[in-house]
Amino acid sequence: MGKALIIGCGGVASVAIHKCCQNPEVFEEIMIASRTKEKCDALKSKLQGGKTKIETAQVDADNVDELAKLIEGFKPDVVLNLALPYQDLHIMDACLKTKVNYVDTANYEPTDTAKFEYSWQWAYQDRFKEAGITALLGSGFDPGVTSVFAAYAQKHYFDEITEIDILDCNGGDHGYPFATNFNPEINIREVSAKGSYWEHGHWVETEPMAIKRVYDFDGVGVKDMYLLHHEEIESLANNIKGVQRIRFFMTFGQSYLTHLKCLENVGMTSIKPIDFQGQKIVPLQFLKAVLPDPASLGPRTVGKTNIGCIFKGYKDGKPRTYYVYNICDHQECYREVNSQAISYTTGVPAMIGAMMLMTGTWKGPGVFNMEEFDPDPFMEALTKWGLPWKEDFDPALVD
Ligand code: NDP
């Protein structure tokens, strides 16, 4: 069917690339382009021999001209951005320049401020419309599948959704006292930021980790979870009409929180550059360098993730609740694609998002969040490509 240019070759990209190679009818040719070409070549040598033709390239995704040249040479149908959120706008600029569709998994963040919002990317709406190309934002699990779950609930089960609770549980154990399951810099910026939720048309801000709940997760068991700000709240508040409250909770173990507090207290999570032996370093970037590489956690992580959404609302005038979620086993993921479940649950929807655009199943000029398209083909693809989902019409609710 076509060609995809995949930017980045870290934990998430590795899973998405494995999945593209399992799907050669759609992904006839891929190019893996990243900052460190050796990583792209190593993955290529693991995967070649299948039907998907693989090329590799070195690229600095912050250099729009260099990237545009690469796109012009390879002529992909879609650019799948699996680098870091800092690169989003540069890659969108290169897509505009070359008129190629764009997909990512995380919203843009400036390097010097831990600020998570869609305004920067939504500002590309008119330019993408004029260029006649599609930008699909946030095609990971959360955001991504959680947004598709919301569209599915709205389409099939509710006349009006009034409340959404997104629950992200990682019951996995990697055996280290402290490590993060995806890029440590991005992960720590996210969890050390202030929490917030959407209620009655405006944001309510909380101190980091100030709101805690306990939930009994199917397949995992009882876990502490904490309210965080999360990017899909912003787009769901726009796109799910009438919604009155949206919250996002993520589970954390006590050891993770104690380490994080200590690192914060000594200044290691700061993103303000400091002088160190004659050079400027960012403490959080230095911390990333000494923490275990998330890609190395695969073989040692056991247990399961459970991520999903609980909806409350009305159907035919009667109150209704609905919970839809996926359970994913770290070791099964490792056996299949050599990665743990966090990369897997992000990489699979990234491949599916790219596939939706390549097959024309989702199309239209402009910048879109996942819940704006028909959820049914994506939901079908989740089951087919390794992330089957379960439904519960009488779930325990979060108070
Ligand atoms: P990694 O750090 O493992 O991988 C990032 C990759 O991007 C690396 O290969 C890195 O190169 C490459 N890269 C970084 N900067 C550049 C650049 N300027 N030019 C070219 N390549 C670059 O991150 P993850 O795989 O864990 O995460 C990838 C993305 O997925 C992130 O945006 C993250 O926020 C998102 N994510 C989304 C989730 C969701 O559910 N929506 C969940 C988890 C992650 P090098 O190898 O040289 O370092």
pLDDT of residue 193: 87
12 Cα–ligand 1 center, Å: 7
Beta-sheet pairing, 318-329 with 27-34 = unpaired
Read off the pLDDT of residues 176-215 as tens digits, 9 standing for 90 and up: 989 998 888 888 888 888 999 999 999 999 999 999 999 9
Domains, the chain: 145-337 (3.30.360.10)
* Alpha-carbon span 152 to 156, nearest angstrom: 6
373 Cα–ligand 1 center, Å: 25
- Residue with the smallest CA separation from ligand 1 atom 1 is 10
The yes-or-no verdict on residue 114 having pLDDT over 80 is no
pLDDT of residue 358: 98
Read off the pLDDT of residues 40-53 as tens digits, 9 standing for 90 and up: 999 999 998 899 99
Question: What's the mean pLDDT in 278-296?
Answer: 92
Percentage of the chain lying above the pLDDT 70 cut: 100
- Residue with the smallest CA separation from ligand 1 atom 8 is 10
pLDDT of residue 181: 81
Answer yes or no: is the C-beta of 9 below 6 A from any ligand 1 atom.
yes
pLDDT of residue 166: 98
Task: Kindly state the tokens that stand for 356.
Answer: 């939706």
Answer yes or no: is the C-beta of 298 below 6 A from any ligand 1 atom.
no
* Alpha-carbon span 128 to 124, nearest angstrom: 6
Percentage of the chain lying above the pLDDT 90 cut: 89
- Answer whether 123's CB lies under 8 Å from 100's CB: no
pLDDT of residue 290: 94
396 Cα–ligand 1 center, Å: 35
Task: Kindly state the tokens that stand for 298.
Answer: 């695969």
Q: What is the pTM of this model?
A: 0.95
Question: What's the mean pLDDT in 161-171?
Answer: 97
Residues 6+ apart with CB under 8 A from 223: 169, 171, 214, 215, 217, 251
* Alpha-carbon span 180 to 34, nearest angstrom: 22
